């Protein structure tokens, strides 16, 4: 392989894009010792692995990567079992449930957070908004006690650290497993109680859901709720911060979005392509597979680099340019058909929460723009992304003319 920084190095964490380019061009399939996986970086290869039309890949790798913290969820399952289990949960995140039950929850949570700083004239969009908003939304959707939001936030932080622990720090791993225990101690009694007091919330929907005679056990529901913390929290958190970082770096595009709010959807899609929250997704090969860069043996773990594939010039013109008006990217309106960037994956495991995420972004960004008519970065602040597995701005201090009371 050419001279490349290791994907676990600081250099790579600071800016993986130069290395992504070299990989795509000269090393599209690399064996990586530390993660014991094959790294794949070209759009055509990642797309093919996600779509997996021939059933050559499973998510068996999640049994050791993700189950220790979440327990068994649809992420780990494949085939028919995955389809049935996914059908149990998916309807809760689209259509009428989303429109009627959850949009008001999203609006109220955005407003409550923004009310804390709209009169201050300054905020950190990461700490004060992005890292709180999606987790609070999920907790409220589930119908949990508002007083537990902070506890939820702590678990969320620990789960993310566990999943991002590619280098295998034993303390982070132990903390993640403790969270699994604490989360179960909290959730199982709540689920049992809810079964006898069904309401209009997501937890009640999960308790009542039935597909082909299959229902979710208390343990299944607890595991899925735990997955929601990470799958629905950290990702949306980074997407929100990413949109603002990208738009603040391109003031004319920010102005366009401010004037025409329907462009938020384009800004979201382009942010997911240009700076996806999840940079790496792993799969396991079931058979020997031929990719553009070489052959993967059966039973191998394959690391798909979404951040590299999304900037493949074979797929997107001038891929390193952030442009919400580009015409070679579908907006997220027509999700199931072709959300063509790979940030939500594709195929069987395509993000269940994509429409929910879009609603959170449309509402959250809209309300933030209303509250901060002249938003700008704090003086001298240079936004920087961090992270390898997931990636996003670590801080985004902004200034604006405070709202008059």
Query: Would you tell me which residues interact with ligand HEM (CB under 6 A)?
Result: 59, 74-75, 86, 93, 227-228, 231-232, 235-236, 239, 277-278, 281, 343-345, 349, 351-353, 356-357
Shortest Å distance, C-beta 267 to ligand HEM: 12
* 8-state DSSP, 230: I
Residues in the chain: 405
Shortest Å distance, C-beta 207 to ligand HEM: 17
Shortest Å distance, C-beta 313 to ligand HEM: 22
Angle between helices 103-115 and 133-142 (to 10 degrees): 140
> Do 348 and 369 meet the contact criterion of CB atoms below 8 Å apart?
no
- Residue 21: other Cβ atoms inside 10 A: 17
Give the whole-angstrom CA distance, residue 167 versus residue 297. Answer: 24
In the complex with ligand HEM, which residue's Cβ is closer, 118 or 340? 340
In the complex with ligand HEM, which residue's Cβ is closer, 4 or 88? 88
In the complex with ligand HEM, which residue's Cβ is closer, 385 or 400? 385
Measured in Å, how far apart are the chain's first and last C-alpha atoms?
60
The residues that bridge with 386 in the sheet, in sequence order, are: 392
Give the whole-angstrom CA distance, residue 397 versus residue 244. Answer: 11
> Do 27 and 321 meet the contact criterion of CB atoms below 8 Å apart?
no
In the complex with ligand HEM, which residue's Cβ is closer, 44 or 60? 60
Give the whole-angstrom CA distance, residue 127 versus residue 134. Answer: 12
In the complex with ligand HEM, which residue's Cβ is closer, 45 or 400? 45
Shortest Å distance, C-beta 45 to ligand HEM: 15
* H or E element that contains 398: strand 397-399
Shortest Å distance, C-beta 232 to ligand HEM: 3
In the complex with ligand HEM, which residue's Cβ is closer, 75 or 159? 75
Give the whole-angstrom CA distance, residue 131 versus residue 123. Answer: 13
Shortest Å distance, C-beta 405 to ligand HEM: 33
In the complex with ligand HEM, which residue's Cβ is closer, 75 or 163? 75
Give the whole-angstrom CA distance, residue 168 versus residue 369. Answer: 40
> Do 75 and 348 meet the contact criterion of CB atoms below 8 Å apart?
no
* H or E element that contains 266: helix 264-274
Shortest Å distance, C-beta 373 to ligand HEM: 26
Give Cα 287 distance to the centre of its chain. Answer: 29
Shortest Å distance, C-beta 17 to ligand HEM: 18
The structure tokens listed for 92 are 């809760």
Burial class (CB in 10 A: 0-12, 13-18, 19+), 326: middle
Angle between helices 264-274 and 354-371 (to 10 degrees): 120
Burial class (CB in 10 A: 0-12, 13-18, 19+), 60: middle
Nearest position to ligand HEM, beta carbon:
353
In the complex with ligand HEM, which residue's Cβ is closer, 19 or 239? 239
In the complex with ligand HEM, which residue's Cβ is closer, 277 or 400? 277
Shortest Å distance, C-beta 305 to ligand HEM: 12
Give the whole-angstrom CA distance, residue 279 versus residue 307. Answer: 5
Shortest Å distance, C-beta 209 to ligand HEM: 14
In the complex with ligand HEM, which residue's Cβ is closer, 2 or 79? 79
């Amino acid at each position: 392989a050419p001279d490349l920084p290791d994907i676990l190095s600081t250099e790579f964490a600071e800016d993986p894009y130069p290395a992504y380019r070299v990989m795509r061009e000269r090393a599209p399939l690399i064996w990586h010792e530390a993660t014991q996986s094959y790294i794949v970086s070209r759009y055509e290869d990642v797309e093919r692995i996600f779509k997996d039309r021939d059933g050559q890949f499973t998510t068996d790798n999640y049994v050791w990567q993700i189950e220790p913290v979440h327990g068994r969820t649809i992420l780990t399952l494949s085939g028919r079992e995955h389809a049935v289990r996914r059908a149990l949960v998916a309807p809760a995140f689209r259509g009428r449930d989303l429109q009627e039950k959850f949009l008001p929850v999203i609006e109220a949570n955005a407003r409550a957070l923004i009310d804390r700083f709209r009169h201050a004239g300054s905020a950190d969009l990461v700490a004060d908004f992005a890292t709180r908003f999606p987790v609070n939304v999920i907790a409220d959707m589930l119908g949990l006690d508002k007083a537990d939001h902070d506890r939820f936030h702590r678990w969320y932080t620990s789960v993310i650290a566990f999943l991002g622990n590619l280098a295998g720090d034993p303390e982070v791993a132990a903390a993640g497993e403790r969270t699994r225990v604490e989360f179960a101690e909290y959730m199982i009694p709540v689920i049992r109680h809810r079964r006898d007091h069904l309401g209009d919330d997501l937890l009640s929907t999960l308790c009542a859901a039935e597909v082909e005679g299959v229902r979710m056990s208390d343990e299944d529901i607890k595991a899925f709720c735990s997955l929601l913390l990470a799958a629905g929290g950290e990702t949306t958190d980074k997407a929100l911060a990413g949109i603002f970082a990208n738009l603040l770096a391109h003031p004319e595009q920010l102005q366009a979005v401010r004037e025409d709010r329907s462009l938020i959807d384009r800004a979201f899609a382009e942010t997911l392509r240009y700076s996806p929250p999840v940079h790496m997704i792993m799969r396991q090969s079931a058979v020997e597979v031929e990719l553009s860069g070489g052959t993967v043996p059966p039973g191998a773990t394959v690391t798909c680099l979404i951040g590299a594939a999304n900037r493949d010039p074979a797929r997107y013109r001038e891929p390193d340019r952030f442009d919400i008006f580009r015409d070679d990217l579908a907006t997220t309106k027509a999700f199931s058909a072709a959300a063509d960037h790979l940030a939500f994956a594709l195929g069987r495991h395509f993000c269940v929460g994509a429409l929910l995420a879009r609603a959170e972004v449309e509402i959250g960004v809209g309300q933030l723009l209303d509250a901060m008519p002249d938003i700008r970065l704090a003086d001298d602040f240079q936004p920087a992304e961090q992270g390898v597995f997931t990636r996003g701005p670590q801080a985004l201090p902004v200034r604006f003319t405070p709202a008059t009371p």
